Amino acid sequence: MTSLAEKNAVIRMFHVHKRYGAKQALVDATLDIAKNEFLFISGPSGAGKSTLLKLLYLAEPVSEGQILVDGMNLSRIPQRRIPMLRRKFGIIFQDYKLIPTRTVYENVALVLEARGQKRSLVEKKVKHVLRVVGMEDRLTTYPPSLSGGEQQRVAVARAVIGDPKIILADEPTGSLDDDSAAIILQLLGQFHQRGATVVVATHDRSLIESATGRVLTLHQGRLEPPADV
Ligand SMILES: Nc1ncnc2c1ncn2[C@@H]1O[C@H](COP(=O)(O)OP(=O)(O)OP(=O)(O)O)[C@@H](O)[C@H]1O
């Protein structure tokens, strides 16, 4: 029989360990993330927050344990299906990771172009999402000419343009002033309201306190509170 947790969870982690050589970055992490949940993973630098996110989209393999993402068992997924897994995610990084030699429009459009979508549809969608993040008047600007807050808004647009089920944000406001951070958090809230599951890794307590959502803390690779299993 399917349990309620199983039905409601979009991400399930079972006794996951991650080691980098002798370094134990994640220790016995068991966790369900519900569909359309807004979850913060907090904890000091080096606690394992980025590692936890990286395991979810297979940027790193687990050392032990299992992860299910939207029903896909990551330890059994063949190489050719990894792009399919990655399409479930929109990922936002602290340092934006925009391509400096491509315009704002091109940075966001690339996601859909890589999926072979028609140019007219790409244009419509990109302009729409850039309007949502308030960057519609900067289509032809190159990222290095934008402020950090503006670059992160473009990165949010790029993360959501493919309509991902899950948005992962790794210290999304770590390089931003308070006003820009508030805008990014508000945008994440907006996409959450539209149905996405949002997972934000941050060490910034004030960011966590300014939003609603479950908060889990990592301490030296251990999740607190531990899952009730
Ligand atoms: N590729 C790697 N090789 C070796 N050790 C690593 C690697 N990536 C992370 N680590 C180590 O694993 C631990 C967890 O790192 P991780 O980046 O997940 O922490 P974090 O909580 O995201 O920290 P920060 O907020 O500083 O990014 C740290 O001790 C880190 O040095």
Pairing of the two strands 64-69 and 9-20? antiparallel
Q: What is the pLDDT of residues 165-224, one digit of tens each?
A: 999 999 999 999 999 999 999 999 999 999 999 999 999 988 899 888 999 999 999 998
The residue contributing the CA closest to ligand 1 atom 4 is 20
Q: Which of 162, 165, 184 is nearest to 173 (CA)?
A: 184
**How far apart (Å, rounded) are the C-alpha atoms in residues 187 and 205?**
19
pLDDT for the residue 7? 72
Does pLDDT of 72 surpass 80?
Answer: yes
| Cα 46 to averaged position of ligand 1 atoms, centre (Å) | 5
Residues of the chain above pLDDT 90, percent: 91
Q: Which atom of ligand 1 is nearest to the CA of 47?
A: 21
pLDDT of the residue at 218 = 97
CA-nearest of 89, 90, 91, 96 to 152 is 96
Tell me which of 17, 18, 20 to substitute to probe ligand 1's pocket, judged by most ligand atoms within 8 Å of the beta carbon.
Answer: 20
8 A C-beta contact, residue 131 and residue 160 = no
187 CA → ligand 1 middle, Å: 27
The Cα 134–Cα 89 span in angstroms is 22
Q: Whose CA is nearest to atom 3 of ligand 1?
A: 20
State the closest ligand 1 atom to the C-alpha of 51, by its place in the atom list counted from 1. Answer: 18
ipTM computed for the complex: 0.97
Q: Determine the distance separating the centroid of ligand 1 and the alpha carbon of 93, expressed in angstroms.
A: 14
Ligand 1 centre to CA of 78 (Å) is 26
In this structure, the residues whose C-beta lies within 6 A of any atom of ligand 1 are: 20, 23, 25, 43, 45-51, 203
- For residue 20, the CA-to-ligand 1 centroid distance in Å is 9
- Contact between residue 179 and residue 149 where contact means Cβ atoms under 8 Å apart: yes
Ligand 1 centroid from CA 182, angstroms: 26
